[in-house]
Amino acid sequence: MCGLLAFFSSSANAESHRDQLAAALECLHHRGPDETGVEVIKSPDGAGTDAVFAHKRLSIIDVASSHEPLSYADGRYLLTFNGEIYNYVELRQQLAREYGAQFATAGDGEVIVAAYHYLGEAAVHLLRGMFSFVIWDREQRRAFGARDPYGIKPLHYLRTDDGVYLASEKKALLPFAPSAVAGDAGVDTANLSHYLTLQYVPEPRTLHHGIERIGSGECLTWSPGGEVTVRRWYQPVFRPAPAPDPEALYDRIRDVLRESVRMHMRADVPVGAFLSSGIDSTAVVALAREFHPNIQTFTVGYDVEGYSEIDVAVDSAKHLGVAIHPTKIGPQDMMAALPKIVWQLDDPVADPALVPLYFVAKKAAEHVTVVLSGEGADEFFGGYTIYREPLSLAGVQSLPDGVQRGLRAVSKVMPEGVKGKSFLERGTTPIEERYYGNARIFTEEQKQRLLRRYDPAVRYTDVTAPVYAEVPDLDEVTQMQYVDLYTWLRGDILVKADRMSMAHSLEVRVPFLDKEVFEVAATIPVELKLPPRSRDTKFALRRALAQVVPPAIVNRPKLGFPTPTRVWLAGEMADWADHIFATSGAGDLLDLGYARELLRAHRSGEADHSRKIWTVLVFCVWHAIFVARTLDPGVERNQSALLTKPVVGSMVS
């Protein structure tokens, strides 16, 4: 696990950018505090310099070696890599057997660049893991970068007149962005509008004009004088089919998960696991214990009734015979940590679960370097309650179009809050307009009041319509899963996991988000994900894991580190929130008077506006840090000495 920063020069003068890149790299120190490497790559004729590679390393595999940036093939290639390749042992053997590949290290990074040497861009299809990497081919003067299939590891890029910059986090690119990016004028207001609806900033853009993200399962190529080309190399294909023998399917699910967990435990440093009250993390721990009986686990909770998962997690740990380290947090912890959390995020994500995840990662980092976690199970196996909606609306949707139009007209004149209004509205609305993810914060009418520059042409369908267009023939439940893979999962869930763990130099691995696991999950029919006569979600997964997890967990509803923001924003955190609204400097973009009205109503108990308030609060903190620059997040930015390595060939100076 690491942080990378690379620059490719349009005019062979990369060396003049070296010091500035080395300085910018330090804001990624948390991603890799063990080693730092900065290298300048000479042009083939030796008359100029084509690139600068800068790297922060968190040493996980082949700790004593595998330094980065890493060269290969007598200096023809240079690699900087963030992530883990879990099948690197098998790939090393395959490349040696089939191509005679030789290796100078025992790590997984060299396997990537060796595969690229022999197979070109097709090498990425062989990789089983989480990754973002960049390779420079000195001979062809060509850059190639790629991101893993589901977007577990981030990769941002910026194109300027000087060349192309790539980085693990956006903050490392801000010093190189044009001056137009500064101030409110640099804020992408279309993506701000999306954020206020979805609670995250959807890929590929960011909240800063000009800085974009390579999407999940995408790769980038660039050569001097050319354009940045981004294309998709991986696309998940759901293909639900009848299961004549459900028990055989459950066996396949359990077997592929067990194998994924086994491979995800490959490391030369201590590995632990997060443990909540749900089946996903509990299953990961139960399977991991088979390979590492002394695995340590970590959980988090509060002294607020109905929100803490600690008691259930402790019982599960006891049942499984593993050690557990609980952490409790309160409102003061949340208020103190929010600026640090937002700085780590780069772009705002208004998921309150970021806060407990930040603290449980901090606790875990005191004991281990790697943790396993349960992200991805819901998207792969149908775990969200809202996925049942197509089943509940089937009666309305089966009515003739004329009847549906009439019911839709009736719903529009029904007063807000009247029972049945929402049911009729949603039942007579096509799924492409009805479903856009798990979080639905501000409506268009509310955004029209909140946004200073509201644009009615910007709609959430801008984000989801291209995704729906790829899967028109799937059933609605599976369409929802597919949409979540390209929106909610990579925009919220995985950003949360990556940034909150990396804030503490902790690597999070997610065994559910594995290509082999998906190949099995993709075949599950709707009736075995969400049985019509049951309230269960991810039914097939639960049946598969019934022999693995404690009985009390098999059918337990998902909580996922819930946060008592509703309670605290009406009490201990209310004055703090009001102060942020008053001092953030975001008033030119948002009507913060409206936000303060929501806070007043929430405080008095008139309505629960906690999600809306939190969404605006997170943006205000982001604005104060990255735009107004009036708030110091208080993040320690320890510097490290540059790693010294021998010069490789004539390409590096």
Beta strands in 373-515 (DSSP E): 507-509
Q: Is residue 414 part of a domain?
A: no
pLDDT digits 0-9 by tens, 247-282: 999 999 999 999 999 999 999 999 999 999 899 999
Rounded (to 5) percent helix, strand, coil in the chain: 45, 15, 40
What pLDDT, on a 0 to 100 scale, did the predictor assign at position 643?
A: 43
pLDDT digits 0-9 by tens, 32-72: 999 999 999 999 988 899 999 999 999 999 888 899 999 99
Closest CA to 460 of 160, 201, 188: 201
Mean pLDDT of the chain: 93
Of 2, 27, 219, 620, the catalytic one is 2
What pLDDT, on a 0 to 100 scale, did the predictor assign at position 648?
A: 31
278 & 359 share domain: yes
- List the domain range (segments joined by +) for residue 301: 257-375+485-525+548-554
Report yes or no: 390 and 476 within 8 Å, Cβ to Cβ: yes
Q: Is residue 394 part of a domain?
A: no
287 & 365 share domain: yes
Does residue 638 register a pLDDT over 60?
Answer: no
Q: Is residue 444 part of a domain?
A: no
Whether residue 620 lies in the annotated active site: no
pLDDT digits 0-9 by tens, 133-184: 999 999 999 999 999 999 999 999 999 999 999 999 999 999 999 876 777 8
| CATH code: domain of residue 205 | 3.60.20.10
| CATH code: domain of residue 285 | 3.40.50.620
Q: Is residue 448 part of a domain?
A: no
pLDDT class for 428, splitting at 50, 70, 90? confident
146 & 264 share domain: no
Q: Is residue 490 part of a domain?
A: yes
218 & 269 share domain: no
264 & 314 share domain: yes
DSSP 394-430: HHHHTS-HHHHHHHHHHHHHSPTT-TTHHHHHHHTS-
Does residue 649 register a pLDDT over 50?
Answer: no
Report the pLDDT averaged over residues 412-432. 82
Per the rule left: phi > 0, alpha: psi between -120 and 50, beta: everything else, 151 is left
604 & 505 share domain: no
218 & 286 share domain: no
Q: How far apart are CA 294 and CA 271, in angstroms?
A: 10
Give 350's contacts (C-beta < 8 A, 6+ positions apart): 195, 199, 200, 439, 441, 611, 614, 615, 617, 618, 619
pLDDT class for 427, splitting at 50, 70, 90? confident
366 burial (CB, 10 Å; 0-12 / 13-18 / 19+) is exposed
| Total domains in the fold of the chain | 3
164 & 267 share domain: no
20 & 142 share domain: yes
Q: Is residue 88 part of a domain?
A: yes
What pLDDT, on a 0 to 100 scale, did the predictor assign at position 559?
A: 62
371 & 515 share domain: yes
Q: Is residue 73 part of a domain?
A: yes
Of the chain, the end-to-end C-alpha distance in Å amounts to 25
Query: Is 0.85 surpassed by the pTM of this model?
Result: yes
Q: How far apart are CA 20 and CA 177, in angstroms?
A: 13
Q: How far apart are CA 618 and CA 624, in angstroms?
A: 10
pLDDT digits 0-9 by tens, 280-307: 999 999 999 999 999 999 999 999 888 8
pLDDT class for 653, splitting at 50, 70, 90? very low
Does residue 650 register a pLDDT over 60?
Answer: no
Q: Is residue 247 part of a domain?
A: no
pLDDT digits 0-9 by tens, 482-530: 999 999 999 999 999 999 999 999 999 999 999 999 999 999 999 999 9
Report the pLDDT averaged over residues 96-104. 97
pLDDT digits 0-9 by tens, 355-386: 999 999 999 999 999 999 999 999 999 999 99
225 & 262 share domain: no
373 is in an annotated binding site: yes
108 is in an annotated binding site: yes
219 & 272 share domain: no
pLDDT class for 562, splitting at 50, 70, 90? confident
User: Helix axis angle, 354-365 relative to 494-502, nearest 10°?
Assistant: 40
